[in-house]
Structure 1
Amino acid sequence: MKILPNLLFTGFLFCSQTLPADEVTGIGPEQLLDMQQNRNALVVDIRTADEWQHSGVIADSRKLQSFDRQGRFDQEKWLADLEKMKSSPDQPVILVCRSGNRSGKVGAFLAQQAGMKNIYHLDNGLQSWLKAGHPVSPNCLQVACK
């Protein structure tokens, strides 16, 4: 892992002035369910292990932590792991975090820097999911919770 690229990427993620909102589409909880059921969307929870443990995860979502406890992001490994999760190159990917902030920024990175298509994020994150009254599955040790 190279420190300079990680610092640059971290700065990119947290400098919202450089992230046009139209590069990643925000969706609501009902749209997430619809896309998950009817378009084979891959739901990826990018929160930390502590967050998964605290609040659970959306059923059939996959866990892929974006930052480690020290705030580092291994961009190459993360992208490779994401690609392994996808069933096809054009499969829709929906990113989930706690509030929608991280998922929007990581989604913008995927669209702008990685050139990925069909990238979405859950507006207002897991908070909106819970507010809409949808259940979560308890955190489990496997990558996919079913």
Structure 2
Amino acid sequence: MKLIVNLIFAGLLLCSQAAWADEVTGISPEQLLDMQHNQNALVVDIRTEAEWRNSGVIADSHKLQSFDRQGHFDAEKWLTDLRKLKSSSDQPVILVCRSGNRSGKVGALLTQQLGMKNIYHLNNGLQAWLESGHPVSPNCLQVACK
């Protein structure tokens, strides 16, 4: 199963943005806040530890790195960790990365290949969040930052 999921994900990485844009719903920073507060959306920051340190994280988000330092993605482990964070199977999940590229690709894996519902990603990533004037919390040691 691990090999199959990793092969599927590798194939998605080779696809253009147009291939996944219609499947994963991109949202604005304001929509993220609304969903986080009114729909109990799970915000998952998939950036690297170095990125979390450099720029901080969105308050109440969960850090779940998608790619390791060598650029590898352990899809099976990542999905297991994601499922542990979800409070219910239908809880909305909002993926966040630096620019929206990685979060869109991971979202495509979740929706197109694994059939998950209620998966979103922050359009233009943390860059859009910061450009909109929203604050970030400093990186912290816990998985969830408050």
Taking the aligned partners of 1:79 and 1:65, their CA distance within structure 2 comes to 11
Question: Structure 1 residues 17, 130: closer, same or farther in 2, change over 3 A?
Answer: closer
Structure 1 contact 58–135 (Cα < 8 Å) conserved: yes
Structure 1 contact 14–105 (Cα < 8 Å) conserved: no
> Following superposition of structure 1 onto structure 2, how do residues 1-146 of structure 1 map, counting pairs within 5 Å?
6=6, 9-16=9-16, 19-146=19-146
Residues 65-93 of structure 1, C-alpha deviation per residue, up to 9 Å, x if partnerless? 00100111111110010000000000000
Residues 12-40 of structure 1, C-alpha deviation per residue, up to 9 Å, x if partnerless? 22422683322110000000000000000
Taking the aligned partners of 1:143 and 1:4, their CA distance within structure 2 comes to 28
Residues 107-131 of structure 1, C-alpha deviation per residue, up to 9 Å, x if partnerless? 1110011110000000000000000
Structure 2 contact 2–76 (Cα < 8 Å) conserved: no
TM-score (norm 2): 0.93
**Sequence identity of aligned pairs in percent?**
79
Q: Which runs of 5+ in 1 are unaligned?
A: none
SS at match of 1:40: coil
Q: 4+ runs of 1 displaced by more than 3 Å?
A: 1-8
TM-score (norm 1): 0.93
**Root mean square deviation of aligned Cα:** 1.8
